[in-house]
Structure 1
């Protein structure tokens, strides 16, 4: 089966061809969303470049909520529909997934060297796994093995309230809150959240400055404010991931995924991620049961889309 798979992010869309659950080598193309009117425009351009192959199935991963074959990007005003994908590709075998669902379907197809361990623990086959996506946005999905396949739940968990344990956390939440006076997890743990953390740190010091998330990560070893922002990020990520672990009991492992996850991973261990993850009172000992790793495969969502289609009856 030749399938078309797509990963639709807030900034870029990646498209590739797949044979069963394997991405076809050298078929991946990246398109800047700002250069296109919508997904149909992107897919048309991709298929033209690929020589207009006959497509047997198509699966797209969307960075936003999906319902009844339709979804809108959270951070871009694109509406995506299975029917529109079908018209462009010429196949009726089309599925639209939330992007984290696609990442969850990729786990069984990733090479071991695509994982960077952050915390030891159990990765027991068949047990629940948890995927935390960190990039332009933030989201979470649980991955369950069920009879006959894999169940990957949909969620918009990046928009739950930011956890607050101390006066320090409350000050951050008030700084990060938007016009609606609500501070969400995504407001601190997405790419723009790291920028907010840097602004918060420098404003509190009386010398307000702005840096992009990329600049903050790059300056972590040379700029004390950047280091402090990353320490705050690692602590908050540890708190959120620890809460999620208690919600889902992922004895199959926790997987951080996305461009920001890969960028901050070298700083998480030295900047206190594990201590914040384990700080759960009388349940602190249980937290050592959960292994945490970062997925370095930038095309995991595409692989997940291919894996989903291959698993369909």
Structure 2
């Protein structure tokens, strides 16, 4: 294809929309990477269209201030925190919903691709650099085979990517809604309490931003304190737990990291993700060194006869909170 034909496809608008934040980026050409990355708070906008228009207006204003022309996007792709099927897209943990056809028409783009947010994050994994990761031991580079990603943010996402002869193939799913299993008597007591309120206790029910308050309450009961736990927001639980001035919050963070490790090990076994398991989402980066001194890796490997199998699988934290935008751009590229 002539260069003029390739250039005619650009620019691209890419977005990664979670329950709390909508991140946007701009791709101007085949080797440009994702530029002009911005993040907007979901609650500040009535719809995805409104947030996208704000982002495009911001870019246009900045271009005019530099004396440059602003060309509107020709292609767009949006990663969303929900299962994707049909024209109507309803976000799981926010008030946003949209029609694919209506959004494409509103943005006046030639094509609009909608994919699951963790499908996009999985597609970003092969392109991650060492500076975007923090690993236990050796960094899992270069990527090969099957790579998995889990991400406790507002919810809990799970996906994978597999190396094929034609490139990397994403395996989207809703693994965060798989049933959470206890590993000891304390965790059994925690889950027993939660089952009193919910018929199904998924991993997301406890290992996420929306789940942390539920986990905190259940941990207090399992500790046998005899008094109800103080109702706290996720940010307060993390802050108090890290400061070491609240025993229930400390135990909550310990349980969170341990149970997340056990869940990640189960994901690795299920998918055969011998190329590595990556941790994304917004919660774990806030834990800093605490996470790397937690029981996460210990519980990741604690799978009985398959402990040696898991010991050979690298794990890493994705420190770049906008990494999924690279996966969104790759999804557009693969669509041609």
Does the TM-score normalized on the shorter chain lie above 0.5?
yes
Task: Indicate if the aligned counterparts of 1:129 and 1:252 stay in contact, CA closer than 8 A.
Answer: yes
Q: Does 1:36 align with 2:36?
A: no
Q: Does 1:96 align with 2:107?
A: no
RMSD of aligned alpha carbons: 2.1
Q: What whole-Å deviation, never above 9, does each CA across 1:139-186 have from its counterpart, x for those lacking one? A: 110101223222111211111111134332222113334744221100
Residue 6 (structure 2) aligns with: none
Deviation for aligned residue 1:106: 1.2
SS at 2:160 equivalent: strand
Q: Distance in 2 between matches of 1:269 and 1:33?
A: 30
Deviation for aligned residue 1:192: 2.6
Deviation for aligned residue 1:15: 1.7
Residue 63 (structure 2) aligns with: none
Gaps of 5+ in 2: 1-9, 61-69
Q: Does 1:250 align with 2:269?
A: no
Paired residue for 2:13, among 4, 14, 17?
A: 4
How does the TM-score come out when normalised to structure 2? 0.85
Q: Does 1:205 align with 2:225?
A: yes
Which structure has the larger Rg?
2
Q: Distance in 1 between matches of 2:146 and 2:128?
A: 17
Following TM superposition, the consecutive aligned residue runs of length 4 or more in structure 1 with deviations greater than 4 angstroms are: 119-124
Instruction: Number of aligned residue pairs: give it.
Output: 311
Residue 135 (structure 1) aligns with: 153
Task: Indicate if the aligned counterparts of 1:122 and 1:289 stay in contact, CA closer than 8 A.
Answer: no
Q: What whole-Å deviation, never above 9, does each CA across 1:107-164 have from its counterpart, x for those lacking one? A: 2332211101135586563310001111000011010122322211121111111113
Q: What whole-Å deviation, never above 9, does each CA across 1:77-108 have from its counterpart, x for those lacking one? A: 32233323311221222110100011011123
SS at 1:192 equivalent: coil
SS at 1:50 equivalent: helix
Paired residue for 1:17, among 15, 23, 26?
A: 26
How does the TM-score come out when normalised to structure 1? 0.91
